[in-house]
Amino acid sequence: MYFDKCAGSRCDEEHGWDERFGDFLTDLQLQEGLAESTLLVLKNQLTAFNRWVYQATGHTWDRAVPEDFYEYLLNTEGLLETSSLQARRWSLKRLYSWANDEGVTSIRNHTFDFSIRAVKQVMSEMPPSVEQIHRLLEQPDTSRKEGVRDRAILELLYATGMRAAELLSLSVFNLQSESLLKVWGKGRKERLVVYGEEAKYWIAKYKVVRNDLLHKGGHAALRTNNLFVSTGKHPGYQYFELRRMLKKYGQACGLHVTPHRMRHAFATHMYQAGAPLKFVQMLLGHENLQTSTIYIAQNSKDHINFLKHHHPRNSKSKIGRSRFG
């Protein structure tokens, strides 16, 4: 069986493919005679993991640590069936068993012997309450420019329920209007998302200091089009920075916070405030819904008005007035 190689590099970071995966899959085919369909599933799962771990940590699969494997499963969109979780764990276990024998890594098989039930239990935990999210949003020190950026990110995550990858891929050109953002979701599908008053305010504050943050990191103002930028090695804000920031502010107010839990909180609080489930799912960009970007764009004014009345961070929201008014 033939597996594509990377053109000119060992690992294609953007797409997750590593030429060593080809060696691994070829060995499986020759030694165990696995069906081509099984090998294709393995290939897809391994590239997905490698792409995720690079975005999450800045390093590739051969430098992953046990915490990465566990969090990868926890970051799975929605609650997967146990069999699907087991398949992912099996794929990683096979890869790292081979890589250990080949001297590529020193990850042992027992690393993957955690309970799938425990993973599903953590995934199904209730998200933070409205009051807890409110305390989280107040954590950044907005007298500092980094704090203004962090507050804008937190507000936008909670205002829209965006996936972490969608937020980090935003460019300065994605701001369609004062309350609209164009995002690229799963499968590179484009959609518009709406956000409310608080997010709008902090994004405006952040845009004033964006170039200063780039300069602080030694980057030219035109070095990146990313909306959110870093003072670190990379001009664009990275997933590991997002994860670290959420963890820091979460710990400060006694919460376990991840990008997915922010997304979960958005959906839950909107639904608790009376938003129809299908409307919430549409805003989340779930692939199983038969809604289109055109429908969202045509009804964006209705959606903005709907968020004003149903999202806790907006003044017209009943839940917002009752708890924070």
The Cα–Cα gap between 318 and 273 comes to 8
Given the residues 145, 182, 207, 286, the one annotated as active site: 286
**Predicted pLDDT of residue 281:** 73
Residue 70 has pLDDT above 90, yes or no: no
DSSP state at residue 236 = B
**pTM for the whole structure:** 0.66
The Cα–Cα gap between 2 and 252 comes to 51
- Homologous superfamily of 130-324: Intergrase catalytic core (1.10.443.10)
- Please enumerate in sequence order all residues whose Cβ is within 8 A of that of 150, keeping only pairs 6 or more positions apart, or say none: 140, 245, 249
Residue 142 has pLDDT above 80, yes or no: yes
**Predicted pLDDT of residue 113:** 62
The yes-or-no answer on residue 186 being catalytic is yes
> How far, in Å, are 124, 299, 313 from residue 283 at the CA level?
20, 12, 16
Contact (Cβ atoms closer than 8 angstroms) between residue 314 and residue 308: yes
Least confident of 79-83, 152-156, 181-185, 207-211: 79-83
> Between these two residues, 142 and 16, which has the higher pLDDT value?
142
Residue 296 has pLDDT above 50, yes or no: no
> Between these two residues, 297 and 277, which has the higher pLDDT value?
277
> Between these two residues, 98 and 183, which has the higher pLDDT value?
98
> How far, in Å, are 24, 47, 99, 290 from residue 63 at the CA level?
17, 15, 11, 39
**Predicted pLDDT of residue 79:** 43
Given the residues 263, 264, 310, 311, the one annotated as active site: 263
Q: Return the structure tokens found at 222.
A: 């035109």
Residue 295: pLDDT band with limits 50, 70, 90: very low
The Cα–Cα gap between 138 and 161 comes to 18
**Predicted pLDDT of residue 151:** 98
Least confident of 71-75, 140-144, 269-273: 71-75
**Predicted pLDDT of residue 188:** 64
Contact (Cβ atoms closer than 8 angstroms) between residue 269 and residue 133: yes
* Strand pairing category for 17-18 and 11-12: antiparallel
Given the residues 260, 261, 303, 313, the one annotated as active site: 260
Residue 115: pLDDT band with limits 50, 70, 90: low
Helix (H) / strand (E) element for 45: namely: helix 36-57
Contact (Cβ atoms closer than 8 angstroms) between residue 6 and residue 22: no
The yes-or-no answer on residue 260 being catalytic is yes
The Cα–Cα gap between 194 and 182 comes to 9
CA 18-24-30 angle, 5° bins: 145
- Unique residue bearing structure tokens 């008053």: 197
> Between these two residues, 181 and 177, which has the higher pLDDT value?
181
Residue 59: pLDDT band with limits 50, 70, 90: confident
Least confident of 129-133, 176-180, 321-325: 321-325
The yes-or-no answer on residue 263 being catalytic is yes
Given the residues 108, 189, 295, 323, the one annotated as active site: 295
- Half-sphere exposure for 223 (CA within 13 Å, toward CB): 22
* Matching fold, domains 11-123 and 130-324: no
The Cα–Cα gap between 151 and 205 comes to 10
Fold for domain 11-123? DNA polymerase; domain 1 (1.10.150)
Residue 212: pLDDT band with limits 50, 70, 90: very high
Given the residues 59, 117, 186, 215, the one annotated as active site: 186
**Predicted pLDDT of residue 81:** 57
**Predicted pLDDT of residue 124:** 57
Given the residues 163, 219, 269, 311, the one annotated as active site: 163
Average pLDDT over residues 50-62: 83
Q: What is the pLDDT of residues 221-280, one digit of tens each?
A: 888 999 999 999 889 998 889 989 999 999 999 998 888 889 888 888 887 777 776 777
Q: Which residues pair with 184 in a beta bridge?
A: 190
- Find which of 43-57, 114-128, 287-301 is predicted with most confidence, using mean pLDDT: 43-57
Strand, helix or coil at 118?
A: helix
The yes-or-no answer on residue 163 being catalytic is yes
How is the chain split into domains, by residue range? 11-123, 130-324
Amino acid (one-letter) located at 285: G
- Find which of 17-26, 181-190, 268-277 is predicted with most confidence, using mean pLDDT: 17-26
- Find which of 55-64, 71-80, 248-257 is predicted with most confidence, using mean pLDDT: 248-257
Alpha-helix runs per DSSP H in 187-228:
197-216
Average pLDDT over residues 201-215: 96
Count CB atoms within 10 A of the CB of residue 267: 18
Average pLDDT over residues 28-45: 89
